[in-house]
């Protein structure tokens, strides 16, 4: 499948009929610790991505300034079984902590009405989805699933598994290689996620 941009940019008030009212936004889980307490699977993997990310200070400083100027806040949709969420949600959580940005976390499958407003290509319930607002709850844009860099490098991971029959020794060995390579790519993917979020907001507010 051809990689497409994960970013949707738009600067406008939230739709009058949007289910994401300020009151609904406030109902989301309010911290990474709260997310960890609420999920059942892959807590160690979430924790590893949270702890291992070394943020680019220039991106952090720029987003911190946007938070100060515009009251930037983020809604994050995810599920604990999704590899893209394992990586993307902890980054959003730490970014909020480092910049003072309010971040609220929502399990996708318990909030399908929210997901319906932010479908990838108008069709797919892709996660994580990160929706950005200013302090007046004006919608600034949303980011879906993974960065363009990650999309461009996914082909190398798929090649590792290509032609392997599931549940065979060859498949098991390839799966180990796949997982190891994913961690090799992880830092670049985390950094590119933040760079894209920064670009999204800067363009929306320009």
Residue 6 has pLDDT above 60, yes or no: no
pLDDT level of residue 65 (50, 70, 90 thresholds) = very high
**Is residue 61 a part of any domain in this protein?**
yes
Q: Which of 31-35, 44-48, 68-72, 180-184 has the lowest average pLDDT?
A: 180-184
Can you give the residue range of the structural domain that contains 70? 7-148+190-205
* Reported pTM: 0.90
pLDDT level of residue 153 (50, 70, 90 thresholds) = very high
CATH number at residue 58: 3.40.30.10
**Is residue 58 a part of any domain in this protein?**
yes
**Which residue has 């069709």 as its token pair?**
123
The strand pairing partners of 78, in sequence order, are: 107
**Is residue 153 a part of any domain in this protein?**
no
**Is residue 175 a part of any domain in this protein?**
no
Q: How many domains does the chain have?
A: 1
> Would you state the pLDDT for residue 175?
87
Q: The dihedral of CA 158, 147, 145, 9: what is its sign?
A: negative
**Is residue 132 a part of any domain in this protein?**
yes
**Is residue 182 a part of any domain in this protein?**
no
**Is residue 35 a part of any domain in this protein?**
yes
Cα separation, 91 vs 96, whole angstroms = 9
> Would you state the pLDDT for residue 155?
87
**Is residue 1 a part of any domain in this protein?**
no
């Amino acid at each position: 499948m051809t990689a497409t941009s994960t970013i949707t940019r738009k600067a406008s008030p939230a739709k009058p009929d949007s289910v994401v009212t300020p009151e609904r936004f406030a109902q989301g889980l309010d911290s990474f610790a709260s997310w960890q307490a609420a999920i059942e699977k892959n807590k160690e993997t979430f924790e590893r991505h949270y702890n291992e990310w070394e943020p680019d200070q220039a991106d952090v400083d720029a987003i911190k300034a946007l938070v100060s100027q515009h009251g930037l806040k983020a809604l994050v949709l995810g599920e604990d079984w999704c590899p893209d969420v394992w990586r993307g949600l902890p980054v959003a959580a730490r970014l909020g902590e480092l910049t003072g940005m309010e971040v609220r976390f929502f399990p996708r499958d318990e909030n399908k009405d929210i997901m319906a407003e932010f479908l990838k290509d108008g069709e797919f319930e892709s996660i994580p989805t990160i929706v950005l607002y200013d302090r007046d709850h004006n919608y600034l844009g949303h980011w879906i699933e993974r960065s363009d860099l990650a999309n461009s490098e996914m082909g190398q991971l798929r090649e590792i598994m290509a032609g392997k029959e599931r549940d065979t020794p060859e498949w098991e060995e390839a799966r180990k290689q796949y997982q190891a390579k994913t961690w090799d790519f992880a830092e670049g993917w985390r950094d590119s996620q933040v760079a894209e979020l920064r670009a999204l907001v800067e363009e929306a507010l320009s």
